Structure 1
């Protein structure tokens, strides 16, 4: 294994022996030799199913994953010391060069402390391809694709269940006060309305605003012609269709392993509520999938739903529409049988 000056970066920077030891173990837990296929950059909103999809992709032989390498709340990201605050990842910070360099170093296995924890689900010692799970950097998706020679997989989930699942909205205030977003994508009148909702609205309404701000640039103002879109709902209910598309578009060899991983709860299941955990104990696969798909509907009333889509209309985002629980057909791969009244 080639050692570089920064390979052990991070694990030596803490006085906590336990954390240092864990970092050392991670640093020597992987040998990576990049193969011919492009790495995959999975972009998604937090609590949108991204860990689940990352693990489906990581089921492939020789696949390595980086689970939220830009999440400043994570100890290993803090140790590496590249990005300390959420502000460092916003457009105004102008950190594109640093971000690209960091991703290249991760791709070349030069920052050992960022390696996956050994023996975690889908961990591989020898790897030749990487999936990066990223919840930030919406303004840099295409530069990352081009400069890191990657493929983009953009995961969508209905904004209401996504918002209901979120406990924190760490970047909401940054978006609301961002000149980059306000001057390009929102009018002064809309900004006033949005800020008023954030100050007086419910947690759900605040979550919808966060969802819109996190998705407005990718969904409305980016060249997505060579991205692969996947929706949580279609993957849940049509796994054979969606896994086949992902296998084809992303050059994944073992579709059987992907399908097997679909029905395995992700490692962050502890973040889910008691009701979700109970559903996942149901051994009837089809019934379990339908319950997972419909469970959020019981957590709101019609007025809540109408209000959420009134907020979305401020952003003119039509990826999901009122009383339609699947994404717009342009994001689906087989919409012929995806009808809410079936469920």
Structure 2
């Protein structure tokens, strides 16, 4: 049992360009709450922040944390305990925070292990993979699907042979768009199909279309109160909007919600959509499809 001398840490999982910064800012609107941006990010070891993270975490290919051996588990647990105790203020957006949100974009496969390490509540934020994939590509970011497949233990446990074979085919001959959609599928396979953690699932599209009720759902789950402050955040471009196109920012500022969610369609042709749909079907990620801008529940 945990000694509850502080509030539960909030483990929040999303994809890069999946609405993660917006969600983090929504949660940060609650008084005395701060967030740690990408606490499993090993990409910048030469920065002060990167040095702190690297001093605790084991090295992982492309910073992808989806499996841990016994020694790695101990290291990650020690790191999370320090975050839980608010001892790593240099990583927090709010140095005076009494409760932390961990904005996790590359450790989805640890969704069942991290709650064993610290008292926590878990939120999952999903966004349409086609919109997310295009945003990653537009920003010139690489994809991180390879480590999942190179781990024989992980891939043989959580992927069927058909899925493994098709994934390797995409890596060898697929387009950037196909690889980005595949990346999205692989990082979400475990949380969506295998996790036994009780978590709150939120869709980015619901935040856009049904903001007030979705914020209330999130705040009720966490026991937060400042929904008014969160809603003020919701109607503005997030801090990561510098990675968005100018017309996307205009759509947010003008409140054109449906146009915002469908804007990805201007940047991917029907052939690519069909290829992306095949990936979603093979990996049984049927909550999203090419024919709808919103999740199919």
Contact residue 80 and residue 117 of structure 2 kept, 8 A: no
| 1:36 Cα deviation from its structure 2 partner | 5.6
User: Within 5 Å, which residues of 2 pair with 1:255-266?
Assistant: 255-266=227-238
Q: Mean alpha-carbon deviation: is it higher for 125-134 or for 182-191?
A: 182-191
Name the CA distance, whole Å, in 2 between partners of 1:92 and 1:177: 15
In the other structure, the counterpart of 1:42 is 12
Runs of 4+ in structure 1 deviating by more than 6 angstroms, as ranges, are none
Give the secondary structure class of the aligned counterpart of 1:152: strand
- TM-score of the aligned structures, taking structure 2 as reference length: 0.88
User: Within 5 Å, which residues of 2 pair with 1:125-140?
Assistant: 125-140=95-110
Name the CA distance, whole Å, in 2 between partners of 1:135 and 1:77: 17
Q: 1:227 aligns with which of 199, 214, 217?
A: 199
In the other structure, the counterpart of 1:169 is 142
Distance 1:143 1:155, change over 3 A: same
Q: 1:111 aligns with which of 48, 70, 88?
A: 88
Contact residue 6 and residue 85 of structure 2 kept, 8 A: no
Q: 2:33 aligns with which of 49, 63, 81?
A: 63
Q: 1:100 aligns with which of 63, 77, 95?
A: 77
Distance 1:57 1:92, change over 3 A: closer
Distance 1:128 1:92, change over 3 A: closer
In the other structure, the counterpart of 1:297 is 265
Name the CA distance, whole Å, in 2 between partners of 1:92 and 1:62: 32
Contact residue 56 and residue 78 of structure 2 kept, 8 A: no
| 1:306 Cα deviation from its structure 2 partner | 1.7
Q: For structure 1, which runs of at least 5 residues remain unmatched after alignment?
A: 1-33, 117-122, 330-343
- TM-score of the aligned structures, taking structure 1 as reference length: 0.77
Give the secondary structure class of the aligned counterpart of 2:42: coil
Contact residue 262 and residue 293 of structure 2 kept, 8 A: no
**For this pair of structures, how many residues does the alignment match?**
284
Name the CA distance, whole Å, in 1 between partners of 2:196 and 2:295: 19
C-alpha offsets along residues 180-229 of structure 1, whole Å, 9 cap, x if unaligned? 332112233432221121221111100010000000000011114x2101
Q: Mean alpha-carbon deviation: is it higher for 291-300 or for 249-258?
A: 291-300
| 1:56 Cα deviation from its structure 2 partner | 0.5
Q: For structure 2, which runs of at least 5 residues remain unmatched after alignment?
A: none
Give the secondary structure class of the aligned counterpart of 2:113: helix
